[in-house]
């Protein structure tokens, strides 16, 4: 890989290329759409938040995994 998609700053991965930004925006869109879907099917606020936090953890894990694999290795 010649140009990394992400740069690691502390615990976070910051996009540095177009593909990184596309991945970040897609993650936000999936999070918003999943929140709207969960909110439409739930019966209480706590039910919505519990299910959304679980989905947000999955989205964050996928984002972090892809960012880790496509970032520049420290030398």
Domain ranges, ordered by start, for the chain: 31-75
Beta bridge partners of 6: 15, 71
**Largest separation between any pair of C-alpha atoms in the chain:** 51
72 pLDDT more than 80: no
Task: Quick: pLDDT tens for 36-58.
Answer: 999 999 889 999 999 999 999 99
74 pLDDT more than 70: no
Round the average pLDDT of the chain to a whole number and report it: 90
The separation between the first and the last C-alpha atoms of the chain, rounded to the nearest angstrom, is: 15
Residues 6+ apart with CB under 8 A from 14: 6, 7, 8, 20
Tokens of 35: 């929140």
State the pTM of this model. 0.84
CA–CA distance, 55 with 46 (Å, rounded to integer): 14
């Amino acid at each position: 890989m010649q140009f990394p998609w992400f740069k690691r700053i502390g615990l976070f991965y910051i996009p540095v290329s177009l593909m990184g930004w596309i991945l970040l925006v897609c993650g936000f869109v999936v999070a918003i759409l999943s929140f709207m879907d969960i909110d439409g099917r739930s019966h209480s606020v706590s039910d919505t938040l519990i299910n959304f936090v679980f989905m947000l953890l999955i989205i964050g894990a996928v984002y972090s995994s892809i960012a880790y694999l496509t970032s520049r290795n420290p030398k």
